[in-house]
Structure 1
């Protein structure tokens, strides 16, 4: 399998894992009846719970940028060593970002986010050469 596709699948797996953590947290803290309901009347999340929710939203945004660029490169047969490395950098940085964001470490979180952007640019570079 092509590295870029594997990294996209890995990003999807990370999103699934974070969502399962989020859902489990909801059941534990809210109880199954509330967690299974519409959750309109619950208090806003705070602390690591809020950061987890924001890390998940941020990952969704990153995948929404990464996926079409990676699929264009793959579909056009422009994959190369740089795009493969960029995809790997993207996935590793997103794992670090999710963990650090949930733990609440601001500057490292920003560095991980920026590193992910560099990975996306590397993946998309073959489209412009």
Structure 2
């Protein structure tokens, strides 16, 4: 397995776990049974948990383009220092994005989002320059 595919697996694993903190906050806020019966759907989450939920939604939205880029690069047999570094950076930046967004760190979510976007652009650039005519 290439580093890029391994990082795609780790990014996917991270994304499928990001719901846990805000659901636990909801359970702590209203109790387990109301959470399971949907009677508490109108109860607002604590501010940090609402931010965690938004960060999770953002992670889901960005997983698709990252996955497509990694899979296209893999199909074209493009794997180099740029793509591997970008894939590793993407994982850590997405983790940092969730943490900084949830913790409401000033400029944290913007910087980490932009960095992860830059990692995607790096892989895209490799595909467009090395994959042309393949």
- Deviations along 1:52-84, one digit per CA (max 9) or x if unpaired, are 100100111111221111111111211222111
- Runs of at least 5 residues in structure 2 that lack an aligned partner in the other structure: 130-134
Task: Point out the structure with max Rg over C-alpha.
Answer: 2
Identify which range, 29-38 or 94-103, moves more after superposition: 29-38
**RMSD of aligned Cα (Å):** 1.6
Paired with 2:30 and 2:10, the residues of 1 have a C-alpha distance of: 30
What is the TM-score when the length of structure 1 is the normalising length?
A: 0.89
> C-alpha distance in 2, partners of 1:31/1:5?
39
The residue number in structure 2 matching 1:73 is 73
Contact conserved, 2:10 with 2:91, CA < 8 A, in 1? yes
| Higher mean C-alpha deviation, range 39-48 or range 110-119 | 39-48
Q: Is the 8 A contact 1:85 1:122 kept in 2?
A: no
> Which of structure 1's runs of 4+ aligned residues deviate more than 3 A?
38-41
Is contact 1:51–1:101 with CA below 8 Å preserved after alignment? yes
Contact kept in structure 2, 1:83 and 1:125, CA below 8 Å: no
State TM-score, norm by structure 2: 0.86
Gaps of 5+ in 1: none
Counterpart check, 1:87 vs 2:74: no
